[in-house]
Amino acid sequence: MEFRLQDYREATGAFDKVAAIGLCEHVGYKNYRSFLELAHRCLKPGGIFLLHTIGRNHSVHHLDAWMDRYIFPGGMLPSAAQLGEAMDDLFVLEDWHSFGTDYDRTLMAWHTNFEKSWPRFSAEYGERFYRMWRYYLLSCAGGFRSRQIQLWQLVLSKDGIRSGWKGIR
């Protein structure tokens, strides 16, 4: 098994499996296709690509100004339509699992841990950071809870799995 920590645009080689976890949110809608083309190029025949991403229910072509400035510069959540268009004629969709309701609980656990740990960091980071990070965690949890944003895991194959994908749920 080989793991690489590098800019995805510099990836080379051919692999049986490729995973992109939390990356798609950072490439921007203009780069979804080239991102997936690169994953396709890096797969050997019969290869499998796992795409794990937060997504949204509708397509956008702009960044959320607050998130862009304070939390994730350049970040953008893809829609199902944008991902579908980007993977068109590249991959066989073997599985698309949505588990955003689980991520609401994850964010609330992070929020609880953040609140419990804050006294150790308050002097270093200050009230402004506290308010922004608390707002971020709770607004994201609200986005998942209201089902406006989702957490998706797509299993894509380069050539199609003849016997079908045997996912575990």
Q: What is the mean pLDDT of the chain?
A: 93
Dump pLDDT digits (tens) for 69-90.
Answer: 999 888 899 999 999 999 999 9
Q: Which has the closest alpha carbon to 14: 36, 45, 37?
A: 45
- Residue 157's pLDDT is 97
In the chain, where the domains are located: 8-100+148-157
Question: Above 80 in pLDDT, residue 103?
Answer: yes
Helix (H, G, I), strand (E, B) or coil at 20: strand
Q: How confident is the model at residue 169 (pLDDT cuts 50, 70, 90)?
A: confident
**Rounded Cα–Cα distance for residues 23 and 142 (Å):** 22
Q: What share of the chain is helix, strand, coil (3-state, %, to 5)?
A: 45, 20, 30
pLDDT at position 8 is 86
| Confidence band for 163, pLDDT divided at 50, 70 and 90 | confident
β-pair type (15-21, 43-56)? parallel
Residues taking part in catalysis: 140
Share of the chain above pLDDT 70, in %: 100
pLDDT in tens, 121-146: 999 999 999 999 999 999 999 999 99
> Is 3.40.50.150 the CATH number for 8-100+148-157?
yes
69 burial level (CB within 10 Å; 0-12, 13-18, 19+): exposed
**What six digits make up the tokens of 122?**
């308050």
Quote the tokens at residue 113: 């841990």
